[in-house]
Amino acid sequence: MVYDAPLLDQPFEKRLETIKANLATKNAKFVKLHEHEKCTGQKHLDKEMDRVLGMQGEGLMIKDPKSKYESRRSKLLLKVKKFLDAEATVIGHQKGTGRCQSMLGALECKGDNGILFKIGSGFDDKQRRKPPKIGSRVTYKYQGLSKAGNPRFPIFLRMHSGM
The per-residue pLDDT for range 111-146, each reduced to its tens digit, is 999 999 999 999 999 999 999 999 999 999 998 888
> What pLDDT does residue 147 have?
85
Whole-prediction pTM value?
A: 0.68
For position 158, what pLDDT does the model report? Answer: 94
Between CA 123 and CA 109 the distance in angstroms is: 15
* Three-state SS at 134: coil
Domain limits, the chain: 12-81, 84-159
Residue 144: what pLDDT?
Answer: 84
How distant, in Å, are the alpha carbons of 35, 86, 87 from that of 128?
42, 20, 19
Tell me, what DSSP letter sits at residue 33? B
Note the pLDDT tens digit of each residue in 74-117.
Answer: 888 999 998 999 999 999 999 999 999 999 999 999 999 999 99
Note the CATH architecture for domain 84-159: Beta Barrel (2.40)
**Residue 162: is its pLDDT beyond 80?**
no
Q: pLDDT for 8-45, tens place per residue? A: 999 999 999 999 998 888 877 889 999 899 999 999 99
How many degrees, rounded to 5, is the angle at CA 59 between CA 120 and CA 107? Answer: 10
pLDDT at residue 163, rounded to an integer: 53
